[in-house]
Amino acid sequence: MTVNYELLGKQLDSLMASEPDLLANSANFVGLLFAEIPNINWLGLYIVRESDLVLGPYNGRPACVRIPMGQGVCGSSASDARTLRVADVDQFSGHISCDPASKSEIVVPLIIDEVVIAVLDVDSPVYDRFSRQDQDGIEKLCRVFVARLRALGARHKNFI
């Protein structure tokens, strides 16, 4: 069950092409990815606000609202400015469990002007759900999203 990330990137780009509203585009970004990536139970954005990550647009069950920078998989990805791919969340020291059904996850930082503005968190009920190929594909989708945000004038201080 592989995802055609190339095609998904084109769909995302055209979905965002005609709409200037950052929040609407962010909502559709998570909606499209949640609909098209199989075997996941949660996908959404955490937005950097001062020293916390705050819950943004997502699809899935209600989740933790505020994550301190540096904590959990999301906070670690944001503070290190790098993707974290976790095959078994119970083996990640400090993992924050919002839903006990989640077994693996991937978190990708979104960077504008060399500043992490948000992270995309994707959770799966399946252990080791995300391959290196998924990581490459999801990072590519995040680059498409960030390029559109930049074209709309988003800067690290005014992202939704």
Taking CB under 6 A as the rule, which mask of x and - marks residues 14-53 in contact with ligand SME? ----------------------------x-----------
Binding status of residue 121 toward ligand SME by CB under 6 A:
yes
Taking CB under 6 A as the rule, which mask of x and - marks residues 47-86 in contact with ligand SME? ----------------xx--x----xxxx-----------
Smallest separation, CB 94 to ligand SME (Å): 7
Binding status of residue 159 toward ligand SME by CB under 6 A:
no
DSSP string across the chain: ----HHHHHHHHHHHHHT---HHHHHHHHHHHHHHHSSS-SEEEEEEEETTEEEEEEEEES---SEEETTSHHHHHHHHHTS-EEES-GGGSTT---S-TT--EEEEEEEEETTEEEEEEEEEESSTT---HHHHHHHHHHHHHHHHHHHHTT--TTS--
Smallest separation, CB 119 to ligand SME (Å): 8
Of positions 47, 96, 111, 160, contacts ligand SME by CB under 6 A:
96
Binding status of residue 98 toward ligand SME by CB under 6 A:
yes
Smallest separation, CB 143 to ligand SME (Å): 22
Joined tokens for residue 48: 């950097």
Binding status of residue 130 toward ligand SME by CB under 6 A:
no
Task: List the one residue out of 4, 49, 11 whose CA is nearest residue 31.
Answer: 11
How many beta carbons lie within 10 A of that of residue 43, not counting itself?
25
32 vs 86, which CB is nearer to ligand SME?
86
Using CB under 6 A as the criterion, which residues of the chain lie in contact with ligand SME when the complex forms?
42, 63-64, 67, 72-75, 95-96, 98, 102, 105, 121, 123
